[in-house]
Amino acid sequence: MVKFLKPGKVVILLNGRQAGKKAVIINNMDDGSKERPYSHAIVAGIEKYPLKVTKDMNKKKLSRRSRVKPFLKVVNVSHLLPTRYGLDIKVSTRLTSETLKAPPRSSVCPRRSRGSSKRGTSPARTSGSSPSSGSKFPHTL
């Protein structure tokens, strides 16, 4: 079988949050890996494209609308639709699915405690089933 999903190939993602978005294959693993026993590829694309700007807009709005939000994702090859286009760029082969693993959550950012909120404390909302809620029907245990 001819290998046509090579690095630099432009593809369209078919599943997930980025469905319908264009992406470029950075690296592909035809044999799979220990964690992903299926053939998969690392793709990079643009999640949010820049918006239209006009000359009447101020600098702050212009910079906000000119932002580009990229994404990097490991995708099953069956969820890619290859196009006839390719990029003639040198892509790094050092990027693997192991390097894309997220570090443990505790080291990235500490979680807030569930009781704290930005607005301060407020009484808990109840459905009226607790004995202290003053409902008509007393509950016995």
Predicted local confidence at residue 36, as pLDDT: 78
- At 31, is the pLDDT very low, low, confident or very high (cuts 50, 70, 90)? confident
Q: What is the pLDDT of residues 80-121, one digit of tens each?
A: 999 999 988 776 666 666 666 766 565 555 555 565 556 656
Task: Tell me the whole-structure pTM to 2 decimals.
Answer: 0.61
- At 134, is the pLDDT very low, low, confident or very high (cuts 50, 70, 90)? low
Whole-number Å distance between alpha carbons of 77 and 55: 43
Categorise residue 106: left if φ over 0, alpha if ψ from -120 to 50, beta otherwise: alpha
Whole-number Å distance between alpha carbons of 53 and 59: 10
